[in-house]
Amino acid sequence: MARGRFITLEGGEGAGKSTQLQTVAACLREAGVPFITTREPGGTARAEAIRGLLLSADEAEPMAAETELLLMFAARAQHVRHRIEPALEAGTWVLCDRFTDATRAYQGGGRGMPLARIDALAAWVHGDCWPDLTVLLDLPVAEGLDRAAKRGAKDRIEQETLDFFERVRMAYLEQAGASPDRFRVVDASRSEAAVAASLREILRPFLQAARTHD
């Protein structure tokens, strides 16, 4: 049986990942591809519990950058072992809201943790289980934060500074530039419909190539 394909959506706060995950899901459904949707941090019961730790603010004991990085990978280890790998092995496609590229952008670019350390953790936790396709929804930081703010209270990471999110954006764009075969960058400042149309354009040849290779 052919291994499933692994697709991730990435981007800064409020970029529209959750919204556009539905577009990708609709494309896969129309193509008759078996798939699951999931997210990081999270995706399994234990990983969702770790997400709770990561996103809740506690001013009495601020989270150390090292703790944050290790918790991201602790959640990812559960997710990869119990959800992502079993699905891919069963021929099911995995559509995931964020993965290790987010760690490179947020903990690497945003927090300034050494990329070599992040890459070593990634190699340990998920080996060569990297996405086959990553769509980066890119938009100016202020626009994304405005959109996210309309949704309500900010979580711990959303309380970061504008500079932090500018570094995250730059780190994402650098990663996309360094891996052009895997990344597609989409201008996410346009309407939901325009962004959805771009995603459909990206997925058409990807689905065709997957059919040819299987």
Q: Could you say which residues in the range 60-99 bind ligand T5A, by CB under 6 A?
A: 72, 97-98
CB of 66 to ligand T5A, least distance (A): 13
Output the six-digit token pair for 1: 């049986």
Asked if 14 touches ligand T5A (CB under 6 A), the answer is yes
Asked if 147 touches ligand T5A (CB under 6 A), the answer is yes
Site string for ligand T5A, 27-56 (x = CB under 6 A): ------------xxx---------------
Output the six-digit token pair for 13: 């706060």
Q: With CB under 6 A, what is the number of residues at the site for ligand T5A?
A: 27
Minimum CB distance to ligand T5A smaller for 4 or for 14: 14
Query: How far apart are the C-alpha atoms of 24 and 90, rounded to whole Å?
Result: 20
Cα distances (Å, whole numbers) of residue 168 to 25, 77, 107, 161, 187:
26, 23, 8, 11, 16
| Selected range binding ligand T5A among 88-96, 101-109, 175-183, 198-206, rule: CB under 6 A | 101-109
CB of 17 to ligand T5A, least distance (A): 3
Sheet holding 183-187, edge to edge: 35-39, 93-97, 6-11, 133-138, 183-187
CB of 92 to ligand T5A, least distance (A): 21
Query: How far apart are the C-alpha atoms of 47 and 83, rounded to whole Å?
Result: 11
Residue 114 main-chain phi, psi, to 5 deg: -60, 130
> Backbone dihedral region of 112: left (phi > 0), alpha (psi from -120 to 50 degrees) or beta?
left
Q: Could you say which residues in the range 113-142 bind ligand T5A, by CB under 6 A?
A: none
Q: Give the footprint of ligand T5A on this chain (CB under 6 A).
A: 11, 13-19, 39-41, 72, 97-98, 102-103, 106-107, 147-148, 150-151, 157-158, 191-192, 195
